[in-house]
Chains A and B, each alone.
Chain A
Amino acid sequence: MKNILESMFTRRRFLQTSGATGAAAFGAAGMAKLTGFSAVGAGGAAPSNAAAASNGSWKDLQMTKNICHQCPARCGINVYTYEDPSTGNRRVTSIYGDPGNPIANGKLCPKGHLGTYFLYDPDRFKQPMRRTNPNKGRDEDPGWEPISWDEAYDEIASRINELRENGEAHKIAHLYGRGWGPSDAGLYGDWGKLVGTPNAAIGHASICAEGSKHAKAAVEGNASYNSYDYKNTNYLLIFGAGFLEAFRPYNYLMQVWGHMRTKSPKTRVTTVDVRMNPTMAASDRYLMTKPGTDGALALAMAHVILTEGLWDREFVGDFDDGENRFSTGSTVDAERFEEVWTRGLVDWWNAELKDRTPEWAAGITGVDADDIRRTAVEFGSTRPAMAIFERGPTAHTNGVYNGMAIHALNALSGSMFAEGGLFYQMGPSYASGPADADDYRDGISRTMEGRYPRIDMAGTERWPFAGTMMQEVAKNHNAGDPYKLKMAMFYTTNPIWTAPDAPEWEKMMSEIFVVDTSPFPGETAKFADIVLPESTYLERLQDSPTYPFEGWPMTALRVPAVEPIYDTTEFGNMMIEIGKRIKGPTSDYYRQVDNVENLLKHLARGFEDDPGDNGVDGWEAWKEQGVWYKKPYHWKQHRGVFYEWDGEGYNIEMTEEEVREKLMPTESGKFEFDSSYLRAEVDYITQHLNVSRDRVGFPQWLDPEYTGGNRDLHFVTPKTPMTAEGRSGNIPQATALMQPSVGGNDRCYVEMHPQTARERGIKDGDRVRITADLGSIEAYVRLMPQNRPDTIILPYEHGHWAQGRWAEAQERATAPGNPNEMTENVSDPISGLAAYYTGRVDVERV
């Protein structure tokens, strides 16, 4: 009774009663918007105690399986929905990690929870649209007019058919960023083959992390990212990987961090990076190096490991009498060293390592020699120990050599394919698709095969190692070399903003027919002729085989949590529908594929013969559980012997030939400190890098070629935890948590050491102009005494000029500006990875 009286006379209820008429009218108007909380709307007034008692509960929510789309990690997510009684449609209310998904394990990173805002982003494209304004430019309104899907597909297909008939099929390009699996980017290969273009598709790896793949290919034959056994490692040496910020799979890395840092023995961590960040801070030791010099550190560590006799004898080998002859400055007789699973150790020592002392490296990196030596001794005397790296050391002109030097430490520590070490990824047991494209090729398809190079010239004499060179596309088109494109379709990529020298793309995209498929407005869409809006990930059916993770195969599935809330569809369906409209047998092929669901059902048949560890044995079970996986990884190196899994244990000892075939496919079948992969292109390498012919194959120190001439500040643009595949700029919750540093604020700021600022008359909070050879951008300053005085840091996220209301408000489109506008299009000649972090700039107060 007392409670009732209290609640009746609370201030709020008094106010509601006195304003009853207004409140009721307002409440009724709000009802349609106010979703599923019938009691709230039904009362026609604000929720009160009485109304709240009959409100909804999380216990009534339904859950579907999905995969987060905000970074490459591919975390399984449980998406919770309820039915909106006013519309009968389901609404998403929360997202948690899927406990049954081996990457997520019930957990999520800070981005993952915000997925609801992607679905309900009010700036989303709501239906297919055609441009009516023929003029393209940043300030040109495209003049969108809504069209039907059929109209859009017909127009695109008729252009493709015309180009094909004119012998210009190669002038059709597809460009893509985050491809997920066979049901989206996996469709490109057959599409290009059937249509007759070498440009389906140009991937984004060369503006992402291609450097590490080529470093690994160079020394042990696998052009791939690694899988890692973090759980069992006792030493982690991290070079510029953003381990606790952006390395994949970020969510899992934090989970395993919690394990590593509390297990017995605790995993010791040293991190090398160019700026203060959470990974550096959380490590036992950080070494802050000058951008582009990680390779020098790694070489000095290898030097110490050899001189101190700390290499792994069982993997690498030993001197014939067991006496260590590696002594600083002295050459060694190669005959005296008997290698096991490596090749060229002594040659490498003699040609490169013998003089690479910590003191030498200190002069190049700015890192104290004693700290380098201590780290090397720790790394060399701890097992298992692994060295990992990604874009930081490799986004420089010397990137592959930096990466090889780091990866060589994994051979010296014997961690290749070992417990607590690193290895590669197996693929899922998919069955084949609904049809074989080779049965549906017409004359044009065959005539065009091999006739023209790719527009980006990847894999030609210009970039012999590179598999893809997206950053060359606009430049080559604009120069008409090798030809000009006529049409380009974009999927999950926005190089007009993200590629180095981004403005080149505005010119190209003004000249050609552009199709964008993003669910959201963006710079690509601003230059598009047709927009085919994709569904957001929470509305999509899509598969996703894992990125390299723990080696054993896994593939997850996006199941729509809600019907698309606008007139959108899966990208895979767009490819298939356009294919159905290509003249000739191509259309028959795509009628066989029919749609994404049909394709996925065919693939899932493979699980019937090979059920996953979680019992997933076909399509329905896959949809229900969201993931198929099967442990273990099939190979293991233990104390210098390689074993293969026989179904019960690692019981089959492998021959050298089997190791070469299955695990280390180099020329020698060994880990090569003298790379046959690089020596095969000795002319190309000596022509493009300052390396002498006899040294081409060795992991070695090579000065990075900084751009910006005499400018004196290194300019680095890292990816932060809140960077959600380029969309955080329009997610206010994400923007509020970005940087300064890193508790968040209203945008990304440029971080600068106070001494650097003082010398330029700059104070905390000032607006500054950052100038490189290509131009200038502006940004607001945050003083950061923990960073190097010679390096300024601007995380990339803001500076978007066509991405939506939050991205463009409060000067976020201009301060900070887009750093890629002044990033020169310079790449590592070997990997082709754009040298994003190699620029030098001037800074002045505006």
Chain B
Amino acid sequence: MAKWGMVIDLDKCTGCQACTTACDMENDTLPGESWQDVLYYTEGEYPSGQMKWLPRPCMQCEDPSCVHVCPTRATYKDHDAGGIVFIDWDKCIGCKYCMIACPYGVRFFADEKPLVEPDLKEVFAGSGGQLWDPPGQSPDTDYRRGIGVQPKGVVSKCTFCYHRVKEAPEGVPDLDEDDPELVDYVPACVRTCPPKARFFGDLDNPASNVNKLIGNKNGIRLKDHTGNRPQVYYLGAGAGIPAFQPKS
């Protein structure tokens, strides 16, 4: 089985957030429930100020903090599914421990009052136990892996679009969206990325393009000191999260 990994080249990323909306629509998430968010930071002052950004999917850690803290074992690392970290919505009790434990802030609880009103959950009210009924809901649902529209009261997260990735041909080193044979299996954020700043492939295959990119451009993992060992690597300048500065 492959170990799926993602590489994000920040020298190419334009911060456009197409990854965010592609994910929103593929996975039917709510505004603010951006499994694949782009964080923006500013520093300094005119005329030498900076604006920078960091696209942030779930890191699918090899040793995920979220799994350690989950009291119902709802969240788990699935080595049979490329090492993706899933949430079993049949087991999740919505306690949010995992959200606090995650060093990367990539877990979401969408039941609360939304940022943008009126609440989509009321306008497109959920039926059959769903949190809401998105008007163009995607067909795939797999509660055991947190795929589809969640029921009420659970945490949701990026699945590396496992409902697509799982159909990829066995043994393929990389899922490249420019390959017509593979495009449908590529995670939405990678598939749409206009500057092609994202790459998806098998980290266990030394000959995969993702491993070559990591090797050639000295890819790094965020917050490596935590020992979480993400399966997401960053290339280029600006791969870091500035220290939090409370507003004065």
In the complex where A23-B129, A46-B151, A736-B32 touch, is A7 in contact with B90 (Cβ < 8 A)?
A: yes
**Could you write out 30 A-B pairs with CB less than 8 Å apart?**
A11-B72, A13-B90, A26-B127, A26-B128, A30-B128, A31-B128, A35-B137, A47-B128, A55-B141, A57-B139, A59-B167, A61-B139, A82-B139, A95-B25, A107-B192, A110-B18, A112-B21, A122-B123, A244-B16, A254-B18, A254-B194, A255-B196, A276-B46, A721-B16, A733-B24, A737-B17, A744-B17, A785-B46, A787-B46, A809-B116
Q: Give every chain B residue within 8 A of A806 (Cβ-Cβ).
A: 116-118
In the complex where A58-B164, A261-B12, A735-B31 touch, is A52 in contact with B141 (Cβ < 8 A)?
A: yes
**For the complex, what is the distance from the CA of A109 to the CA of B15, rounded to whole Å?**
11
Q: Give every chain B residue within 8 A of A633 (Cβ-Cβ).
A: none
**Contact of B91 (CB < 8 Å), options: A12, A244, A736, A809:** A12
Give the 5 A-B CB pairs with smallest separation, nearest first: A30-B127, A46-B129, A258-B195, A786-B49, A56-B139
Within 159-174 of A, Cβ neighbours of B (below 8 Å) are at none
**Are A97 and B192 in touch, CB under 8 angstroms?**
yes
Q: Give every chain A residue within 8 A of B148 (Cβ-Cβ).
A: 47, 52, 55
Within 260-303 of A, Cβ neighbours of B (below 8 Å) are at 261-262, 276-278, 280-282, 288
Q: Give every chain B residue within 8 A of A257 (Cβ-Cβ).
A: 12, 14, 194-195
**Are B31 and A736 in touch, CB under 8 angstroms?**
yes
Given contacts A48-B143, A58-B163, A736-B32, 12 further A-B contacts (CB under 8 A): A10-B90, A13-B90, A56-B141, A93-B139, A109-B194, A119-B136, A262-B9, A276-B51, A737-B17, A737-B21, A785-B46, A785-B49
**Are B21 and A96 in touch, CB under 8 angstroms?**
no
| A312 vs chain B, min Cβ distance (A) | 30
Q: Give every chain A residue within 8 A of B25 (Cβ-Cβ).
A: 94-95, 113-114, 116
| B193 vs chain A, min Cβ distance (A) | 7
Within 103-134 of A, Cβ neighbours of B (below 8 Å) are at 106-114, 116-117, 119-120, 122
Q: Does B174 contact A (CB under 8 A)?
A: no
Within 12-59 of B, Cβ neighbours of A (below 8 Å) are at 12, 14-18, 20-22, 24-26, 31-32, 37-40, 42, 44-47, 49-53
Q: Does B177 contact A (CB under 8 A)?
A: yes
Q: Does A34 contact B (CB under 8 A)?
A: yes
**Are B14 and A244 in touch, CB under 8 angstroms?**
yes
Within 82-117 of B, Cβ neighbours of A (below 8 Å) are at 88-91, 93, 114-117
| A77 vs chain B, min Cβ distance (A) | 11
**Are A368 and B47 in touch, CB under 8 angstroms?**
yes
Within 33-54 of A, Cβ neighbours of B (below 8 Å) are at 33-37, 40-41, 44-49, 51-52
Q: Does A29 contact B (CB under 8 A)?
A: yes
From B61-69, B178-186, B222-230, the one touching the partner chain is B178-186
Size class of the B contact interface (CB-based, 8 Å)? 35 or more
Within 132-177 of B, Cβ neighbours of A (below 8 Å) are at 133, 135-144, 148, 151, 163-164, 167, 177
Q: Give every chain B residue within 8 A of A280 (Cβ-Cβ).
A: 51
In the complex where A49-B144, A255-B195, A258-B195 touch, is A12 in contact with B139 (Cβ < 8 A)?
A: no
Q: Does B81 contact A (CB under 8 A)?
A: no
**Contact of B46 (CB < 8 Å), options: A23, A753, A809:** A753
**Are A27 and B129 in touch, CB under 8 angstroms?**
yes
Q: Give every chain A residue within 8 A of B16 (Cβ-Cβ).
A: 109-110, 244, 254, 278, 721
Q: Does A21 contact B (CB under 8 A)?
A: no
**Are A278 and B51 in touch, CB under 8 angstroms?**
yes
**Contact of A29 (CB < 8 Å), options: B31, B127, B140, B180:** B127
| B35 vs chain A, min Cβ distance (A) | 13
Query: Interface on A for B, CB 8 Å cutoff?
Result: 7, 10-13, 16, 23, 26-27, 29-31, 33-37, 40-41, 44-49, 51-52, 55-61, 82, 91-97, 99, 106-114, 116-117, 119-120, 122, 244, 251-252, 254-255, 257-259, 261-262, 276-278, 280-282, 288, 366-368, 721, 732-733, 735-737, 741-746, 753, 764, 784-789, 805-806, 809-810
**Are B14 and A282 in touch, CB under 8 angstroms?**
yes
**Are A58 and B184 in touch, CB under 8 angstroms?**
yes
Query: Interface on B for A, CB 8 Å cutoff?
Result: 9, 11-12, 14-18, 20-22, 24-26, 31-32, 37-40, 42, 44-47, 49-53, 72, 88-91, 93, 114-118, 120, 123, 126-130, 133, 135-144, 148, 151, 163-164, 167, 177-178, 180, 183-184, 191-197, 247
By secondary structure, the B interface counts as: loop
**For the complex, what is the distance from the CA of A636 to the CA of B183, rounded to whole Å?**
35
**For the complex, what is the distance from the CA of A281 to the CA of B49, rounded to whole Å?**
9
**Are A276 and B127 in touch, CB under 8 angstroms?**
no
| B41 vs chain A, min Cβ distance (A) | 9
| A751 vs chain B, min Cβ distance (A) | 10
Q: Give every chain B residue within 8 A of A120 (Cβ-Cβ).
A: 135-136
**For the complex, what is the distance from the CA of A746 to the CA of B39, rounded to whole Å?**
16
**For the complex, what is the distance from the CA of A27 to the CA of B128, rounded to whole Å?**
4
| B167 vs chain A, min Cβ distance (A) | 7
Most buried by A among B42, B72, B117, B123: B42
